[in-house]
């Protein structure tokens, strides 16, 4: 069998985690089977459609590095891939169902349908949905009323008193009573536009979609779709309803759990590789034999393309863990070269005003320092935007903190002054020492010679240079600041401490 699957989003909002997971699993399944991955835009909901959402879809998948084989922007054998451009097809197939006795024209107004609903509510009736009022209208009468211009829709005839059975790859055989299916749903609206169900089934058939991998929230629609396939005399695709994605509270992932749109994750400084890796693990496993040391859960997109299988899907809902995603992001950050990481961090640093006012691009020397500073913060970064804050001391004079910040534990101001004076003597040699190992050996030697603890001599010097007790590594910082800038900062700090000591 030729494998063809698809991602068929409705462009009525930004791309979110749930949609991306569905798209990713379809993409990986197609790639693992040598099949075709299709993008189709289901834009029949014109009231909520916005072209900006279409652009967001393209931008998101371009950023993630996921590409379809056929789609609106690429074309293909079954073009067009935008449902609003296929309306004549839907009219044709809806009319075919009527001619086959599997659908009928409905002339009920919205007012009548609303009145029936209100009457049911008033009488506490258990009945819901359409009451099939027009189901028994003779075809000749329906044709006459249509010819007279009376507005109408086309509704599907749900077989009464039967059950619909279909097989789901993950859930097994599923049996659904037709009495529990939406009663005779509208297929074609009075304005000539199809409903989601008609367009979805017709397009999947005509585009020869062999497998439909979608979220379990669509499971309740599947009996209706299977009934439609059988009404047409078509073979349904193989369904696989993916496990739900939940928040830590066990409820469906939503805004209340934090960022869900991919734009938000991107703005916050997540890497596309980290997001793909983590999302691919939501409800699936991939391990085949021992993994490289330290990479138990780390999979590139190329690895996932070969390892994915529906057999490795879990039935249980997946829990979205932001801390775990942060761990993945940190792992991928550490895999980047200095140049790659600097390029990734630079946009947020520019926006934060690291090199002047917000939006100011770095001068050549500033850019070189920024790139050279990547080894100092790589192990400390979780998000890309953190680089600006961590490296601010390299590009502007940090404010001198309170005197207490310079004083080591179990020490006093006088001792802090002596320690900082000793640190000042070490600045020039440290700035000229090319590697951390030699710098550490030098400062240890000086600490031993002066009978002070290594940590005690480093702390006041660190605070003087960076403005904080916690900062990127001291030795690399001195080298990047240079002896002259470093000495000026130490002298300013000494002046602060000495003035405080005189008071």
- Name the residues annotated as catalytic: 255
Token duo for residue 37: 């991955």
Which pairs count as long-range contacts for 71-79, CB under 8 Å and 24+ apart, including other chains?
A: 71/38, 71/39, 71/40, 72/39, 72/40, 72/41, 74/39, 76/38, 78/38, 78/206, 78/207, 78/208
CA 421 to chain centre: 51
Q: Which string of DSSP letters, residue by residue, matches 320-359?
A: --HHHHHHHHHHHHHTS-HHHHHHHHHHHHHHTTTTSSTT
Cα separation, 24 vs 18, in Å, equals: 10
Q: Which string of DSSP letters, residue by residue, matches 153-215?
A: EEEE-PPTT-EEEEEETTTEEEEEEGGGS-SS-EEE-TTSPBPHHHHHHHHHHHTT--EEEEE
Burial of 291: CB neighbours in 10 Å, binned 0-12, 13-18, 19+: middle
Count CB atoms within 10 A of the CB of residue 277: 22
- CB distance 225 to 197 below 8 Å: yes
- CA neighbours within 13 Å on the CB side: how many for 456? 21
Cα separation, 439 vs 427, in Å, equals: 10
Cα separation, 79 vs 397, in Å, equals: 60
Cα separation, 178 vs 162, in Å, equals: 6
Q: Give the orientation angle of helix 454-466 with respect to helix 474-502, to 10 degrees.
A: 90
Cα separation, 474 vs 320, in Å, equals: 37
Looking at residue 378, what DSSP letter applies?
G
Residue 462, φ and ψ in degrees, nearest 5 = -60, -45
Cα separation, 349 vs 392, in Å, equals: 9
Cα separation, 423 vs 440, in Å, equals: 13
Measure Cα distances from 464 to 162, 375, 408, 461 in Å: 81, 21, 13, 5
- CB distance 400 to 460 below 8 Å: no
Looking at residue 12, what DSSP letter applies?
S
**Closest Cα partner for 52 from 272, 270, 263, 276?**
263
Cα separation, 319 vs 325, in Å, equals: 11
């Amino acid at each position: 069998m030729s494998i063809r699957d698809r991602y068929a989003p409705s462009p009525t909002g930004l791309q979110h985690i749930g949609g991306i997971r569905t798209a990713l699993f379809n993409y990986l399944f197609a790639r693992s089977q040598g099949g075709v991955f299709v993008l189709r835009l289901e834009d029949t909901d014109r009231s909520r459609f916005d072209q900006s959402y279409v652009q967001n879809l393209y931008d998101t998948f371009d950023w993630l590095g996921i590409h379809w084989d056929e789609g609106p922007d690429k074309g293909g054998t079954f073009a067009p891939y935008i449902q609003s451009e296929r309306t004549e097809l839907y009219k044709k197939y809806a009319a075919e169902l009527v001619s086959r006795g599997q659908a009928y024209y409905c002339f009920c107004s919205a007012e009548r349908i609303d009145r029936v609903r209100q009457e049911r509510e008033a009488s506490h009736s258990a009945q819901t949905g359409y009451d099939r009022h027009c189901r028994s209208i003779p075809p000749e009468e329906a044709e006459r009323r249509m010819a007279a211009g009376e507005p109408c829709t086309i509704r599907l005839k749900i077989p009464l008193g039967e059950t619909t059975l279909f097989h789901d790859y993950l859930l097994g055989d599923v049996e659904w009573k037709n009495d529990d299916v939406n009663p005779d749903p509208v297929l074609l609206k009075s304005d000539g536009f199809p409903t989601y169900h008609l367009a979805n089934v017709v397009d999947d058939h005509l585009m020869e979609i062999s497998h439909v991998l979608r979220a379990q929230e669509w499971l309740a629609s599947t009996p209706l779709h299977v009934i439609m396939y059988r009404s047409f005399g078509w073979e349904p695709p193989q369904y696989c309803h993916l496990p739900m994605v939940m928040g830590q509270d066990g409820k469906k992932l939503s805004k209340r759990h934090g960022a869900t749109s991919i734009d938000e994750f991107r703005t916050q400084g997540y890497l596309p590789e980290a997001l793909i890796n983590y999302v691919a693990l939501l409800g699936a496993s991939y391990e085949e034999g021992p993994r490289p040391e330290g990479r138990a859960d780390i999979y590139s997109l190329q690895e996932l393309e070969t390892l994915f299988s529906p057999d490795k899907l879990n039935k249980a809902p997946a829990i979205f863990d932001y801390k775990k995603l942060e761990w993945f992001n940190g792992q991928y950050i550490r895999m980047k070269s200095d140049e790659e990481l600097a390029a990734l961090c630079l946009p947020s640093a520019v926006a934060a005003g690291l090199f002047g006012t917000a939006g100011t691009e770095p001068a050549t020397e500033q850019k070189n320092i920024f790139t050279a500073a990547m080894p100092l913060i790589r192990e400390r970064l979780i998000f890309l935007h953190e680089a600006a804050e961590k490296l601010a001391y390299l590009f502007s004079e940090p404010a001198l903190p309170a005197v207490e910040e310079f004083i080591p534990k179990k020490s006093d101001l006088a001792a802090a002054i002596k320690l900082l004076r000793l640190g000042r003597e070490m600045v020039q040699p440290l700035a000229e020492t090319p590697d951390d190992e030699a710098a550490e050996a030098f400062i240890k030697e000086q600490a031993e010679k002066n009978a002070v603890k290594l940590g005690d001599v480093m702390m006041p010097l660190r605070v003087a240079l960076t403005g904080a007790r916690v900062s990127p590594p001291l030795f690399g910082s001195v080298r990047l600041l240079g002896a002259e800038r470093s000495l000026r900062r130490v002298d300013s700090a000494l002046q602060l401490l000495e003035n405080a000591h005189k008071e």
